[in-house]
Structures are given as structure tokens and as C-alpha cells.
Structure 1
């Protein structure tokens, strides 16, 4: 498939991402031709794209938002997309991902608190390292919190985990 298009194409399992820098009407036409070639490839190999899942995202500022179509359907525009578990927006920022990650980590801490009757300074770190930390650290090389608000949000998860230990609830982090 990637050989039939001139745009960059990233493939993983049954997922494909096609992208290119578009600064002119000619490049818009090239991207549309690549989308048409993908549709042709899928017909040749009797593999159909789920048009409802096919989206277009314009990245950056001042980017002219063009419409693209596949198999006669105009592709829906999205301002954020999730790829391999990491959410990125059209400005290449990860605030939505940090918020979702913190929410999932807080829910996991709540589950730990409700599931275990006796939590102590030995049990909490083990549970935190096995159940919560992987949620926070998944893909963080890509999305690592660059903004203070996102950093503080994720630090609140660690503070809440510390408060699960009896006697540590009133410790100040300042």
C-alpha cells in the first residue's frame, strides 16, 4: 500500500495514518489522489476502510482547512485523535491526554482504596507501582507533560496515592 502513494504513510496492525505538508492547491490535489489510491488499493485487495472512522485533521496554525473525500464521502474533521492510546490535538498538544490519564489513575486509586482493607507503607508502593504508575508512564516519552498545569495534575495523583498510607495523609508537599 505505501508504494502506491507519495504521502507519508504509517501502518500499525489494521490502522493507517496518511499525512503530508500541504501548502498549495497542487499538494492538496496530491493528498486527495493518495486517498483515492488507498481506496483503490482497498478495493483491489477486497479490504474496505470504515469511512466512519476515517478522519482528517489539520495540524498547526493558519493551515487552510481543506475537505478531502474517500469513496464519495467527505471525511469528517477532528480536532484531536487517539493513536495507540495517546491523544493528540490539532496543535500537537497533549492536555486532553494528560486529563484522561489523570482521571484513569484517580479511578484506579479509588479502586485500590475500596478493594484493600489494610493499606500500609509496604503495600501502597507495590500497588501504586503495579497498577497506577503504568497508566501515568505509558507513552510519556511522546506526551510527557510540558505545561505546568498538566504536571500539577499528574502530581496530584502521586499525592493522593501517598495519602492512602495511614499516617501520611497530613504530610505537606511544600
Structure 2
């Protein structure tokens, strides 16, 4: 609670979308125009100033080729192929469990509909 109070002024003057989570802050803006890029850079500079003024540091060093954002795996080129691979792997495991436990078609179809299909649809 105290940390939320401490960072309550973080978004003052920010023009882009700023989302605050429990231990994370996300800044986003459409950067398909020169103005969008400039606005994003101004807000990044403003956040850097805020951090310096409040003796905090942003973690700029952590980078990876794949990030999990709202439970979706996205790579550094904004592709979700890792997400699709992970979902397919999970669906195959579930199909294997269904196959190992029953061979009756009347049971397989409802189990597939309830356990496997929702995961595959969420990937789409």
C-alpha cells in the first residue's frame, strides 16, 4: 500500500497509456507516426526524471527474446509462435491423457470439447 502511495504521482504529465501493476509498470503508445515516437520518448524521459528524483532505478538491463505479457508469450518481434507451440504441447498432453484413460467415442468428444478445445481456441 505504501509503495502505491509512493508511486501515485508517476503518471502526472504522461501522455501515453501507463499501466501500473503490483510490481510492474507498462508504458505504451502507437509509434506508427513521428509524433507517436516523439510522445513515447518524451514520456520515457519524464519517467526517467521521476525515477532519478525519487532515487529509484528502472531495470533496463533485463531483456529476453520472449516475454510473458498477460499470460501470452510474445517474442521481441511481436510474434506469438512460442505461445502457439506451448499451447499445442499442452493440448497434446491432454489428448494423451484422454487417450490413455478411455477409448469410447462417446466420452472422448465431450472431454476434447471441455479440456482441449478451449486451449486451442485461446491460441487463435
Could you say which structure has the higher helix fraction? Answer: 2
CA distance in 1, matches of 2:116, 2:48: 40
* Paired residue total: 108
SS at structure 1 position matched to 2:68: strand
Residue 33 (structure 1) aligned with residue 46 (structure 2): yes
Is there any run of 5+ residues in structure 2 with no aligned partner, and where? 1-7
Give the gaps of 5 or more residues in structure 1. Answer: 44-69, 145-174
> Cα offset for 1:103?
0.5
One of 76, 80, 83 as aligned partner of 2:66: 80
> What is the TM-score normalised by the length of structure 2?
0.64
1:133 aligns with 2:108: no
Equivalent residues in 2 for 1:105-144, closer than 5 Å: 105-114=91-100, 116=101, 118-138=102-122, 140=123, 144=124
Distance 1:108 1:136 in 2: 11
When the two structures are superposed, what TM-score results if normalisation uses the length of structure 1? 0.49
Q: What RMSD over aligned residues (CA atoms) do the two structures have, in Å? A: 3.1
- Runs of 4+ in structure 1 off by over 4 angstroms are 11-15
Greater relative contact order: 1 or 2 (C-alpha under 8 angstroms, separation 6 or more)?
1
The alpha-carbon distance between structure 1 residues 108 and 32, as it changes in their structure 2 partners (threshold 3 A), is farther
CA distance in structure 2 between the aligned counterparts of 1:106 and 1:14, rounded to whole angstroms: 34
